[in-house]
Amino acid sequence: MMKKLSVLLLLCCLALLPLTGCQSGGQDTDQEAQQSAASPLAQLPETRVSVILIEGMEETVALQKALHEDFYALYYDPESLIYAPGEVLEDGSFTDAFLSVYDDETTEAPTTITVSYTPDITPEDWAASVENTQWAPLRATHDSTFGGTWQATESTELLSETAFQYWDGTNLFVQNSCYTAPFRDGCLAIAISYPNTTEYAEGWGVRLGAAVHTLVLAAE
């Protein structure tokens, strides 16, 4: 009788082994799925070091990650720029800004990077829609009646392994440039602006351009 009980217990144990293994494997699979579901942008390091060339001299800069969840990450110098995320509107559009720490309300030609997303519009239509607004780079700071549109170059530039179209709107007072690309059935636009002087171009122009080229886009 005892032998029969022992055999039955052994068979029960053997029958449960595959089930136990399946349950363990299921838990591991769930954990892997949760890890893979985490935003790749959030997994990027919070800081990084960049070497940029300022007036022929190498300068090592410690950069901070700015993260707009599910859209982009960009690394900037927190000693020179302030990250000011904008409100996400009901249609999903937003405008984030990186502002010079040296600018104030008296600054006529601010130093900025702006990152914006507008749904349901092409880059070309977006550029046309911002004519005679605060986005229009051909508008001189000393004459608010002077408006214009960005002029697109025929070439594209790769940012975050994505082809961005380049728009130039520099005038006598401000260096203005913008990168646009179709993104999630809309337009992602990154604009750089700073005073149009050689000193600013060799300093801020290099710094802002280097920051823009750290852009990492989320998967669509």
DSSP state of 202: I
Which residues, including other chains, have CB under 8 Å from residue 200's CB and lie 6 or more apart? 111, 175, 194
Tokens of 114: 């702006």
pTM of the model: 0.74
- Can you tell me whether residue 125 is helix, strand or coil? helix
- Rounded Cα distance, 142 and 145, in Å: 9
C-alpha 19: how far from chain center: 46
Per-residue pLDDT tens, the chain, 220 aa: give them. Answer: 444 444 444 444 444 444 444 444 454 555 444 444 557 899 999 999 988 888 778 889 899 999 998 899 999 999 999 999 999 999 999 999 999 999 988 888 889 999 999 999 998 888 878 765 655 544 434 444 334 445 666 567 778 888 888 888 777 788 888 889 999 999 999 999 999 899 899 899 999 999 999 999 998 7
**Is the CB of residue 218 less than 8 Å from the CB of residue 41?**
yes
